[in-house]
Amino acid sequence: MREIVLDTETTGLSPAGGDRMVEIGCIEMINRCETGREFHAYFHPERPMPSEAEAVHGLSDVFLSDKPKFPERADELLVFIGDAPLIAHNAGFDFGFLNHELERCGRDPVCLSRMICTLVLARSKHPGAKHSLDALCTRFGVDRSQRIKHGALLDPLTPAERPVRPARPHFASDEEISRHRAFVARLTQPLWERFLPAA
C-alpha cells in the first residue's frame, strides 16, 4: 500500500485570511516503509512573512524571494502524491492550505477522504496525554535532535532522518522447505482440504 506522509509550513494560520503555504515536504511509504522517494519545495508566498511565523520555521522573505510560486510546481506535486492516502499531524491544517493553493491555481482540491490525521489517532489512543509532535517523539523514542525549527521535510516523519535501508530478503532455505513439506505430510485432514476442488 502506498501512502504519503506530508507537512507544510505557512505564513500563518488562516488561508482564508490571506496566509500562504511556503514549504511542503512529502515522503513516500510503501507498506509502512520509507522508499527514499520524496517531494520537497519552497514557495514564494507573494506576501511578507510575519515575524511570528518566521520564528517557527526560519523561512525569511529574503530566503523565499527567489523561490517559485506554487502554480509553477503544482502539477509536479500532484503527480507525486497521486491518489495515495495522505498522512499528517493535525492534517486538517495542512489540507486546508494545500487545497487553498490548489484552488487558487485552478486545480481540483484533494478529497478529504484521503486524509489520515496522526493527531486524531494519538488523541484516540492516548486520551488526556500530550499530543504535540515533540510529545509523540518522546513517547515513541524518536530522535528529534535535528529538529531545532519546524521544517516541512523534517516534521512529517522524523525517523526519516535515518538512512533508508534496503529491504531484507526473507527466503526459506532448501532445508526449511524440506522440513515444512515433511511436517505438512504428517497432517491429517488439514483444514484447507475443504476448499480444494474435487479431484
SS3 183: helix
150 is catalytic: yes
> What contacts 23, CB < 8 A, 6 or more positions away?
8, 9, 40, 41, 42, 43, 57, 59, 151, 152, 153
Rounded to an integer, what distance in angstroms lies between the CA atom of residue 20 and that of residue 8? 10
- Single out the catalytic residue among 40, 44, 150, 180: 150
Residue 101, all three cell numbers: 493553493
Residue 64, all three cell numbers: 523565499
φ, ψ of residue 12 to 5 degrees: the values are 175, -155
CB 133 within 8 A of CB 149: no
Rounded to an integer, what distance in angstroms lies between the CA atom of residue 180 and that of residue 174? 10
Rounded to an integer, what distance in angstroms lies between the CA atom of residue 48 and that of residue 11? 8
Q: Which helix (H) or strand (E) holds 7?
A: strand 2-10
Catalytic residues: 150
